[in-house]
């Protein structure tokens, strides 16, 4: 990691790939969750790229029993 890289646990938004590693959820599952919940507060679209808001997604995960 060079000096300009931000550690994953400090990032505000994560790519699907980063979120999959961080939360230990498959990329396909995250994409499916995003498609099924297009207005979810834990997700934003950057063009056609999905960005996961890390803290909001953590809060959502805390409220569910299964994904």
For the chain, how many structural domains are there in total? 1
Which residue has tokens 């961080």? 22
Q: Which two tokens stand for residue 34?
A: 């995003």
Paired tokens of 9 = 């646990």
Q: Report yes or no on 27 lying in a domain.
A: yes
| Residue 32, domain CATH | 3.90.105.50
Joined tokens for residue 66:
């299964």
Tens digits of residue pLDDT in 20-44: 999 999 999 999 999 999 999 999 9
Tell me the residue range of the domain where 28 lies.
Answer: 8-63
**3 assigned to some structural domain:** no
pTM above 0.75, yes or no: yes
Query: What is the percent of the chain with per-residue pLDDT over 70, rounded to a whole number?
Result: 96
Q: Does 25 reside within a domain?
A: yes
Closest CA to 52 of 67, 26, 31: 31
């Amino acid at each position: 990691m060079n000096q300009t890289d931000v550690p994953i646990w400090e990032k505000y938004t994560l790519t699907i790939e980063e979120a999959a590693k961080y939360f230990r959820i498959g990329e396909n599952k995250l994409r499916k969750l995003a498609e099924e919940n297009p207005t979810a507060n834990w997700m934003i679209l950057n063009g056609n790229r999905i960005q996961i808001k890390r803290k909001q997604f953590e809060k959502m995960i805390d409220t569910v029993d299964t994904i």
